[in-house]
Amino acid sequence: MDVYLDHNATTPVLPEVVGAMSVALSQPGNASSVHRYGRLVRRTIDDAREAVARLVGASAGDVVFTSGGTEANNMALRGLGTRTMVSAVEHESVLSAREDVSLIPVDRNGCVDLDQLKILLTDSQLQTLVSVMFANNETGVIQPVSEVAALAHEYGALVHCDAIQAAGKLPVDMDALGVDMLTLSAHKLGGPQGVGALILRAGLDPEPLLRGGGQERRRRAGTENVPGIAGFGAAAIAALDTGRANGDIGSLRDAMEQRLLDIAPDAVIHGGDVARLANTSCIGLSGVTGEMQVMTLDLAGVAVSAGSACSSGKVMPSHVLQAMGQDSDSAKCAIRVSLGRTTTPAEIDRFVDVWAEMARRRQSEPEARRSVA
Amino acid sequence: MSAAPTAIYLDHQATTPVDPRVLDVMMPWFSETFGNAHSEQHVWGRQAAAAVEGAREQVAALIGAEAREIVFTSGATESNNLAIKGAARFALRHGRGKHIITVATEHKCVLESCAAMTEEGAEVTVLEVDSDGFVDPEAIADAIREDTILVSVMAVNNEIGIIQPLADIGAICRGKGVLLHTDAAQAAGKTDMDVNAMAIDLLSISGHKMYAPKGIGALYVRRRPRARLLAAFSGGGQERGFRSGTLPVPLTVALGEAASIAQGELAPERQRLVSLREAMITRLRDNLGEITVNGSLNQRVPGNLNVGFAGVDAEALMAELPELAISTGSACTSASVEPSYVLKALGLDDAAAGSSVRIGFGRFTTRAEVDAAADMITEAIVNHRSGNSARAAE
């Protein structure tokens, strides 16, 4: 049995999304063309824009479709030419979007330190942009975004929120959060890869990254990825109804973590003491590197990850766990398990069995070596 | 689908339908084998990565490149932005020059990318074209200065389909140590493109112009001698650091398949499209007498015809033909009522440019559609002219 527990890396595309994309794929038009084919395509995009806006409580006119979350994050961080402060646990696409970012520290649970943010804001003489993610991709830890936004606005700063991992798992409302810009990615919520969005508060006009052609109200040039956008719209509609599914996923995840801690009482659930995404578990098991754990699980047909997908080719300790105060050994010994809507108790059993074997072998191996010696 | 079955699509330079063979290869990657190609630690990710690398080989083969020289992007607009801004920013940052040469008939995204670089310290020379649409390679040689870093010339024009003399331009640029970028969105898979024979350093490809979906493209980035770029956006460092972001696996697979199909069928398809275009020209001439073909007919991709009907308002003509998809100018600018800047660059006045339409033939266009379209255009023009003369008589 192959078990996929890496839904924070990418999710399977939902059946209704495939349906919406198939319809769009059969429309040959370019949305900028004035003939009837073009108009049909234009309507497909408008409907999807409406659905994505509704998912985050925004207006359709606020949505700028991009090629994905990385592009949207880069546009948000680069487009306003401001002093930029980002939390130390942000995704690489935020951390590296500018060379001149100031890092906002997090506490041992991974939550942004509001006192430190206040000091940074007090010292800043320039127009400032604060970027804090809604939920972390590695630990699932939920940030106090509305507090961050309120504080930042007191100092006249703009606020961006990378909500890629949260959307579809939690209600996301631009107004309730009080943020000025928000990033979404379709393939993290059952939509296709290759499409995302930057949602802009009305009146904000970041410098476009891509020029040429007046698409997206001149905010993002390039022929629209119509099937992708149609799929994103269908995924957004599906994501509006996430409450019950998340309750089930949460109890599955909590029971799993309890079993792991029973098997290996020294195991650590990073961020486990604070509010997290219901589907995400970041588990530290001392003495076995995350790479080794992932490899062992892979051989047994269970897909999890160490760190985020983008950087998983590299053997680097997680910057997220290090920012939470873990030393680099501990930060190297963690894996991320992320559940999806289709995850079954039997799949969790399979994972727990393989993990338990790993934990047991870890204890017996030093003894085995000693007896050979 | 939603369009009436009698509708005829002759706007293949704006976008092409997805080839059913491409769809078949692509669709399983959405929901059956759906991994993140960067999750190489597990089998889902490795399958996805293998599919992406296979597609990279297919795209490379189409233009005579090596697979590792292909960077996947979201489309030709991104590729053009990355090539021009990336090369200019690298050179500006390292004090290697600041001058860019391009041509008046380039796609808007090339012209606007060049213009954007002037705000960062670059200088841009925009060369004119002759009445057939060609840029003179000698004019490029003359325009190259000590501090020239990049020449950007499209392979095939999107409005008039003419093929620029890239091999000559490439030899000049290579000889002077200047990077050559070409926007090959309209050329790849339609005319022979070889990055080595043409000495091209950077080449942009669009998926949806060659029967793959929208939302995918590629940029060829030469390794020897190395073309150096600064990335347009940063993050996970995918695509050799040139282009961060999760790759859309189904779309890359689709682009690869589309490239292979186009490469395999290029020669016979060229013959077929030439005869369709000839049939259109002949029928329009037989029906209407004088028509004007804009741009060279010889050095031109076979799927493109750009034709002027004296005294006819092209916008009004299109409005009378809701069942026929043709265009004035490029899709990106056709919503505006300005006469085509490409046609004006050939020397056409506003009236001549405003009476021209682009007719784009494609892989699924039939002879019957061409004949029907010619007759629809004829009827509309005859009505148009008799309406005009009736009004004149009143």
Reported as a pLDDT band with limits 50, 70 and 90, residue A28 is confident
Residue that is last in its domain, among A239, A260, A291: A239
Contact in structure between A232 and A197 (CB atoms under 8 Å)? yes
Q: Do A128 and A231 sit in the same domain of this protein? A: yes
B41·A306 Cβ contact <8 A: yes
Taking the Cβ of residue B393 and every Cβ of chain A, the question of whether any pair is shorter than 8 Å is answered with: no
Q: Do A263 and A180 sit in the same domain of this protein? A: no
Q: Do A90 and A214 sit in the same domain of this protein? A: yes
Single out the catalytic residue among A111, A161, A282, A310.
A310
Cα B219 from Cα B238, distance rounded (Å): 14
The predicted model gives B317-344 an average pLDDT of 79
In a domain, A372, yes or no: no
CATH of B20-260 among 3.90.180.10, 3.30.420.40, 3.40.640.10, 3.10.50.40:
3.40.640.10
The predicted model gives B360-374 an average pLDDT of 98
- Active site includes A111? no
B41·A295 Cβ contact <8 A: yes
Looking up tokens 């960062």, which residue turns up? B120
Give the CATH number, domain containing residue A306.
Answer: 3.90.1150.10
Looking at every residue in chain A, the average pLDDT score rounds to: 91
Name every chain A residue with its beta carbon within 8 A of the beta carbon of B77.
Answer: 210, 212-213, 221-223
CA of B393 vs chain A CAs: smallest distance (Å): 32
pLDDT for residue A373:
39
pLDDT for residue A239:
93
Angle at B200 between CA B195 and CA B203, to 5 degrees: 85
pLDDT for residue B65:
98
Q: Do A26 and A164 sit in the same domain of this protein? A: yes
Residue that is last in its domain, among A239, A257, A291: A239
CB-CB neighbours of A370 under 10 Å: 8
The predicted model gives B184-211 an average pLDDT of 98
Cα A95 from Cα A92, distance rounded (Å): 5
Residue range A203-222, pLDDT digits in tens: 899 999 998 888 998 899 99
Residue B305 has pLDDT above 80, yes or no: yes
- The string of DSSP letters for A177-197 reads HT-SEEEEEGGGTTS-TT-EE
Taking the Cβ of residue A81 and every Cβ of chain B, the question of whether any pair is shorter than 8 Å is answered with: no
SS3 category, A298: helix
Cα B289 from Cα B358, distance rounded (Å): 18
Give ranges for CATH 3.90.1150.10 in chain B: 8-16+266-393
Taking the Cβ of residue B245 and every Cβ of chain A, the question of whether any pair is shorter than 8 Å is answered with: yes
Please enumerate in sequence order all residues whose Cβ is within 8 A of that of A6, keeping only pairs 6 or more positions apart, or say none: A303, A304, A305, A309, A336, A338, B36, B39, B42, B44, B45
Report how far Cα B372 is from the mean position of its chain's Cα atoms.
27
The predicted model gives B324-336 an average pLDDT of 68
Taking the Cβ of residue A4 and every Cβ of chain B, the question of whether any pair is shorter than 8 Å is answered with: yes
pLDDT for residue A212:
86
Taking the Cβ of residue A82 and every Cβ of chain B, the question of whether any pair is shorter than 8 Å is answered with: no
CA of A147 vs chain B CAs: smallest distance (Å): 27
In a domain, A335, yes or no: yes
A222·B77 Cβ contact <8 A: yes
Residue range B36-63, pLDDT digits in tens: 998 988 999 999 999 999 999 999 999 9
Q: Do A199 and A278 sit in the same domain of this protein? A: no
Residue range A283-329, pLDDT digits in tens: 999 999 999 999 999 999 999 999 655 544 556 789 999 999 999 88
* C-alpha pair distances (Å), B135 with each of A92, A126, B126, B140, B343: 43, 47, 11, 8, 14
Contact in structure between B79 and B219 (CB atoms under 8 Å)? yes
Q: Do A249 and A231 sit in the same domain of this protein? A: no
Residue range A182-202, pLDDT digits in tens: 999 999 999 999 999 999 998
Q: Do A38 and A105 sit in the same domain of this protein? A: yes
Residue B263 has pLDDT above 90, yes or no: yes
pLDDT for residue A362:
85
Full-model pTM: 0.94
| HEC per residue, B256-321 | HHHHHHHHHHHHHHHHHHHHHHHHHHHHHHHHHCCCEECCCCCCECCCEEEEECCCCCHHHHHHCC
Residue range A44-99, pLDDT digits in tens: 999 999 999 999 999 999 999 999 999 999 999 998 877 999 999 999 999 999 98
Closest CA to B233 of B92, B86, B37: B86
CATH of domain B8-16+266-393: 3.90.1150.10
Q: Do A180 and A106 sit in the same domain of this protein? A: yes
Residue that is last in its domain, among A219, A239, A259: A239
CA of A317 vs chain B CAs: smallest distance (Å): 15
Q: Which of B18, B74, B219 to mutate to test the interface with A (most CBs of A within 10 A)?
A: B74
Beta bridge partners of A129: A84, A158
In a domain, A370, yes or no: no
Q: Do A279 and A194 sit in the same domain of this protein? A: no
In a domain, A371, yes or no: no
Name every chain B residue with its beta carbon within 8 A of the beta carbon of A228.
Answer: 213-215, 248, 251
Name every chain B residue with its beta carbon within 8 A of the beta carbon of A235.
Answer: none
**What angle separates helix A226-239 from helix A15-25, to the nearest 10 degrees?**
150
Reported as a pLDDT band with limits 50, 70 and 90, residue A126 is confident
Name every chain A residue with its beta carbon within 8 A of the beta carbon of B9.
Answer: 28, 37
Cα B131 from Cα B3, distance rounded (Å): 38
pLDDT for residue A269:
97
Beta bridge partners of A68: none
A70·B244 Cβ contact <8 A: yes
pLDDT for residue A370:
40
pLDDT for residue B174:
98
The predicted model gives B297-311 an average pLDDT of 96
The predicted model gives B93-102 an average pLDDT of 97
Give the CATH number, domain containing residue A71.
Answer: 3.40.640.10
A194·B107 Cβ contact <8 A: no
pLDDT for residue B335:
52
Residue B331 has pLDDT above 60, yes or no: no
User: Dihedral sign, CA of B7, B266, B285, B159?
Assistant: positive
Contact in structure between A153 and A159 (CB atoms under 8 Å)? yes
What residue of B is the nearest CA neighbor of A229? B215
Reported as a pLDDT band with limits 50, 70 and 90, residue A368 is very low
Q: Do A273 and A190 sit in the same domain of this protein? A: no
The predicted model gives A334-353 an average pLDDT of 96
Between B234 and B169, the higher pLDDT residue: B169
In a domain, A171, yes or no: yes
* Residues of A (151-210) whose Cβ lies below 8 Å from B: 185, 187, 192-195, 209-210
B246·A70 Cβ contact <8 A: yes
Q: For chain A, what is the domain count? A: 2
Residue A247 has pLDDT above 80, yes or no: no
Q: Do A28 and A175 sit in the same domain of this protein? A: yes
- Pairing mode, if any, of strands B99-103 and B123-127? parallel
Cα B135 from Cα B113, distance rounded (Å): 20
Q: Do A232 and A269 sit in the same domain of this protein? A: no
In a domain, A144, yes or no: yes
The predicted model gives A172-181 an average pLDDT of 97
Query: Containing domain of residue A280, as a range?
Result: 3-10+242-364
Determine which helix (DSSP H) or strand (DSSP E) holds B115, and give its type and residue range: helix B108-118
pLDDT for residue A273:
97
The predicted model gives B365-383 an average pLDDT of 96
Residues in chain A: 373
Contact in structure between B182 and B153 (CB atoms under 8 Å)? yes
pLDDT for residue A315:
60
